[in-house]
Structures are given as C-alpha cells and as structure tokens.
Structure 1
Amino acid sequence: MNIDALVKSFNEEDKDKFVSLALNAIENKEMDIPFLYEEVLKMLLYSVDECTTDDCIWREHRKSSMVRTVIECMYPYVMKIKNERKALNKKVLLICPEKEYHELGLRMVDDFLQMNGYETIFIGTNTPKDQVLDAVLSMKADYLAISVTDYYLLFEAQKIINLIKENTSHVKIIVGGNAFKGNFESIKSIGGDIYLETYQDIKNLREGDENEIIL
C-alpha cells in the first residue's frame, strides 16, 4: 500500500478515493487497523490542526469528516476482531467533557478497546458532567475514558472526575488526548488513574485486566 496515495487523496479532499484506498488496504491486508489509525489517520488529523490559512475551519471540518467516514467503515473489521477475542466483561464509557468537540481520537480508542475484548459505551463530545455520572451508574461502567484536546478544558474534565469519584469507589479514570502531551503532571492533578496514548497501551491494559481475572 502506497501511503503517499492516501495522503494525496486526503490533501486533494477526494473523499471517494481516500475511503476506497483505506478500505482496500485493510481488505487486502496491506495494513492493519492500528497502523491505519496511528500512522496514517492521526498524522493527517495533526496536519489539519496545523493549518493557518483563512479557510482553515471549513477545510478542517471537511477533512475531519473524511477521517470519520473511514473510521465508520472499519466497524465490520473491528467487530470481526472483537468476536475472535475472549471478552473481558469490562465496560468502558467514553466521553469528551463539555465544550470539547474533538472526538475522532476517542473513536479510534473505542475501536482499539473493542478489539481487545472490552465492551464500550461511546457517548462522545460535549457531555455534561451530570449526564456522565448518570451513564456511568446506569451502564455499570468499570472505566471512564475522557479525551481532552484543548488544554483549557482540563478543568472541565477535572469536574467530571471529581463527581465520579464522589459517587463511586470502583470506577477507574482513563485520560488521553493532546491536552496531556508534554503535560503529564496534569494527569494526576485532575485525578486520572491511567493514561492511554497508543494501541500498545490498550493491549497492556488488557493484559492487566486478564491477570486480575486470573487472580
């Protein structure tokens, strides 16, 4: 698979070609989902974030929608992998705090978790803290995963974490997103228990939960 062709179709905003190339690469086993997400899609999303021209906003939205379509097209492949893995009987609720609208990274994490045997409940962007608590309690979640892109929204994440910890004793808090890169001290300061950045991190989390089950 020529990654340059994927990048070229993305930069030219040729959605049909971009999606077709990504699907063909997975179908023909030229790359796997973790590689596609981490080495291609994340890189392309970072390039969009670095835009400085006057048309940045609408182009960012257009290109982000292209990435979203590819992720959604991966779902049958994600389910196939999930069905081949032993379920952990662990639930993860995935959210972004209020005012945080960047959720594509969290969508990738959702797929990675499912591929490793977790049951996921994806809520997504701009979720009020009282709704997060209600979902955690209603769904009996074992983990709450919070994604924060904007550094200035860490306080919103902290308010959610405080509320969860005041009302539960078993829920572990997973944090991730660009707001934590180079800012690892904030993970502990806002009450995070686990930081996840890569597919390998999620595989390591699974290994820990498997050992816990064995014990």
Structure 2
Amino acid sequence: MGLIFDAGSDPQRRAFAERAVLRYWLRHPEMAQRYGTEGRRRCVEDLQYTLLYLEAATATGSLELFRSYTEWLRSIFICHHLDVADLAGTLETLLEIFTERGDALPAEYLADSLRLMDSMEDVPPNLLAENNPHRTLAQGYLALLLDQDRQGAADLIINAADTGIPLTDLYLHVFQPCLHEVGRLWMTGRLTIPQEHFATTATQSILAQLQPYAACRSGTGRRLLAVCIDGELHEIGLRMVGDVFTLNGWETTFLGASVPVAGIVGAVKADRPELLALSVTIAPNLPKAAALVEALRADPGCANTRIIVGGHPFNRCPDLWRRIGADAHGRDAAAAVAWADRHFALPGPA
C-alpha cells in the first residue's frame, strides 16, 4: 500500500497543509479577519489530520472512508456554526494542488467527497432514539453520566444486573449506545473533552464491578486474543467484546490498547488462539492494521488464527475488512460472537 507522503513524513504533511491554507487564505482575505493568527494555526493543524485520513483512505482503496471523514468534518462545521463553504474551499484547494502535482489518486478521492458533500448528513442521529429494549435504562444511565454522578450510574447498572438483565444486554443496549451518544454530544459542542473522558472512565469502572455477574456458558475450548492496534487508545469497546466472548464460553485474553505489530505477532505465536479480535477506531491506524494482518499471514506460527476486526471505520465502510485482509468484521460484540460461533461450530453428532 502506498502513502501520499513518505513514511514518517510529519514535516512534509505540515508543509503541504501550510501551502494549501496559505493559498486559500490569500484568495479569501476575509479569513484573516474572521479567524486571526490562532485560527490559521488551527486550520493548518486540522488540515494535517485531513491529509492523514486521505492517506488512510487511498492506502486501503476506500473512497467510502474519506467520504465518512468528510461527512464528520462537515458536521463539526455545522454544529460549531462555521461556514461549510470554507471547508469545501479548503478541500478544493487541496484538490487543485494534488492535480498540479499529478497525484491522480488523492485528487480522485477529494473530488468524490466534494461531489457528495451537499447530500451528506448534517448531524448524526441520536442512537438512543432507535428501537432499544432497554431504552429507559439507557436514558437514565446517560443522564447520570452527564451529571457526573459516578456512584448513581454504578448503582443504576448494578441494580439492573441484580434484577436479572443479562450483561450482554447491558453492554449492547446501554453502554454502547450511551457512549456513542456521548461522542455525538461532544461533536455537537454540548460536551467538553473532560466530560467525555468522565463518561468513559466511569463506564470502565462499572464494567469492572460487573465481573462477578458474569455467568459463563460451559467452555467451548476456544481461545480469543483481543487487542488494539498500535496507536489505538480507545479500548473500552474491545473490552466489552472480550467480555461477551467470555460470557459465551471462550477463554479470552485482553492485551489492551496500543500494542505494536511485533508484540501482537509474538502473542499470537505464543498463545495460538483460534481467533484474534482487532480494534481500529480511527482511520489513520488502518495501514498498521493491514501491516499486522500481512505479518500474521506470513508467519507459519500464526497460520491457524483467524482475524476479526471492528471499530468505526469498518462500520462505516462495509467492505473495508476485506481490503486489509481480515477474515470477518463484527459491527458489535453480538455480531462478532455470532460469526465466531458459526465459523468455529463444533461438529454435530454422527
């Protein structure tokens, strides 16, 4: 997979972003009055992230991936009352520069997103409004998180477990949609980063308190290794996946966040699990995930381990898991377990 810039090219990426911002601002002198020196610095920083996402999309051959990022950016502009025309103009300037350089592939991806920008969703929907068998519980839990009432949130969930609500239901219908909604509220400017972090750490603490309620099925004899790729710090989703596998009789080893490729390959060779669950939540980490899959396929000691991937990029781009060489994609913990149960089904009686 090729990248737009050389590996380790942060200075190149910054210089490219500065060039694009300078060109756009020279054409629109009102930008300096509107945003000032600090605003320009932030524009350059933001454009470097855009270039990272563009690299990830072109490296994995996924137009949908860059469309998804552009839609997210557009929502940020709308929610924070910024002019979407400035976003479109900056992307058009990038397109112009890539075209001048003869870089047809990134130009194609930019042109695709610009063509579709007007039809993109303004703001993601509230997932709690969807059909949810525990909607009232989820809404109560979210309210307590937003009030930063850690003990109240813990009491609510523990009481729910005491009444017999299965842990899998709590994970899929309470924690997961609530954390998605927390992220959406941050995007719309209604939550600060510290408030978002509180919701995550509170939920992690409550997950630990729920472990005594984990009534497992009889063991399947199957082993799962769950890990976040190098650079991934969002581990709570994968932790829930590992817990749900454990509840379904798997022996689960959770390696946690940001594990280098060599470390994951070594762990697979040492443990020889039937399944590796790999989490990637931000697109710039996809090339590392693809490199991991390639390294696992090339090592005879990992030949019997299947790979299932999950995370936001795969949920937005249904074919992406194939493009990095994985065996499957799990939209959530239940889908991952369902695929594993089918794939590793024990033979029935003769």
- Report if aligned partners of 1:116, 1:206 keep a CA contact under 8 Å in 2: no
Equivalent pairs, count: 210
- Report if aligned partners of 2:314, 2:320 keep a CA contact under 8 Å in 1: yes
**CA pair 175-204 structure 1, distance change in 2 beyond 3 A:** closer
Partners of 2:339 and 2:347 in 1: CA distance: 12
Partners of 1:150 and 1:214 in 2: CA distance: 44
1:13 aligns with one of 140, 143, 148: 148
1:205 to partner: Cα distance: 2.2
Note the alpha carbon deviations across 1:86-107, whole angstroms, 9 max, x for none.
Answer: 2111111111111111111101
Q: Which residue of 1 aligns with 2:209?
A: 73
- Is 1:189 the counterpart of 2:323? The answer is yes
Structure number having the greater helix percentage: 2
Gaps of 5+ in 1: none
Q: Which residue of 1 aligns with 2:162?
A: 27
Partners of 2:282 and 2:206 in 1: CA distance: 24
Paired letter, 1:139: D
2:171 aligns with one of 37, 40, 58: 37
Partners of 1:102 and 1:160 in 2: CA distance: 18
**SS of alignment partner, residue 233 of structure 2:** coil
**SS of alignment partner, residue 66 of structure 1:** helix
Q: Provide the identity percentage.
A: 24
Partners of 1:155 and 1:59 in 2: CA distance: 31
Summarize the alignment of residues 1-215 of structure 1 with structure 2, pairs less than 5 Å apart.
2-3=136-137, 4-29=139-164, 31-50=165-184, 51-52=186-187, 53=189, 56-78=192-214, 81-82=215-216, 85-167=217-299, 168-201=302-335, 202-212=337-347
**SS of alignment partner, residue 316 of structure 2:** coil
| CA RMSD of superposed structures (Å) | 1.9
Paired letter, 1:76: P
Paired letter, 1:19: A
- Report if aligned partners of 1:113, 1:120 keep a CA contact under 8 Å in 2: yes
Structure number having the greater strand percentage: 1
**SS of alignment partner, residue 95 of structure 1:** strand
- Report if aligned partners of 1:96, 1:127 keep a CA contact under 8 Å in 2: yes
Query: Which structure would you say has the larger RCO, counting Cα contacts within 8 Å and 6 or more residues apart?
Result: 1
**SS of alignment partner, residue 211 of structure 1:** coil
Note the alpha carbon deviations across 1:27-51, whole angstroms, 9 max, x for none.
Answer: 112x221221111111111122220
1:8 to partner: Cα distance: 1.6
Q: TM-score, normalised by structure 2?
A: 0.57
Note the alpha carbon deviations across 1:72-130, whole angstroms, 9 max, x for none.
Answer: 1111112xx21xx2211111111111111111110110111001111111001100000
